[in-house]
Amino acid sequence: MKKDDCIFCKIANGEIPSETIYEDNMFRTIMDLGPASKGHALILPKQHYRDLCDLDKETAEKVFPLAAKLGNAMKKSLGCPGINVVQNNGKEAGQTVFHFHVHLIPRYEEGPEMVSWAPEKADPEELKLTGAAIRNAL
Ligand code: 5GP
Ligand code: ZN
């Protein structure tokens, strides 16, 4: 399904032009207009899914092999030794476009610095309780 007021539906389906680096019947991969580094790309399914929790099985199964294929092409063409795969779900997690997408962010020796956090010390009792809460909801 596509959503009429969704910009990524329009881009993924070619109604709005984009710098496309890959396209098949299910996905389009485009260059990000606000890149975090040189080569930053976005994998968009052509169907509308709000986020990871809304994704259908076939799309979910195909998106990581595609990320690997594109990641290898980035390494070969851009010479980036590393790549961050970033995928935001919900505005609290930094999602700004509510059509599922995967960021591929090439990383270079010279930077820039990003995708980091300051780890806190885990409380074993809290880990147990939180782990159990998630397990019980599966
Ligand atoms: P989010 O924050 O939702 O995970 O990521 C949205 C991404 O989409 C951002 O990196 C932003 O730069 C990119 N973006 C937003 N609008 C457009 C657009 O119209 N074209 C392209 N190519 N990228 C976009
Ligand atoms: Zn959409």
29 touches ligand 1 (CB under 6 Å) = no
In 10 A of CB 85, how many CB atoms?
A: 16
State residue 73 phi and psi, 5-degree precision. -65, -35
pLDDT for 129 beyond 90? yes
Q: Higher pLDDT residue, 7 or 131?
A: 7
* The pLDDT of residue 86: 96
114 touches ligand 1 (CB under 6 Å) = no
* The pLDDT of residue 112: 81
Q: What is the pTM of this model?
A: 0.93
Question: Which residue out of 40, 48, 101, 103 is catalytically annotated?
Answer: 101
pLDDT for 79 beyond 90? yes
97 touches ligand 1 (CB under 6 Å) = yes
Residue 122 CA to ligand 1 center (angstroms) comes to 34
Eight-class DSSP state of 5: T
Choice among 1-10, 106-115, 119-128 with the minimum mean pLDDT: 106-115
* The pLDDT of residue 42: 97
Residue 119 CA to ligand 2 center (angstroms) comes to 34
* The pLDDT of residue 55: 97
Which of 19, 15, 11 is closest to 101 using CA atoms? 11
100 within 8 A of 51, measured Cβ to Cβ: yes
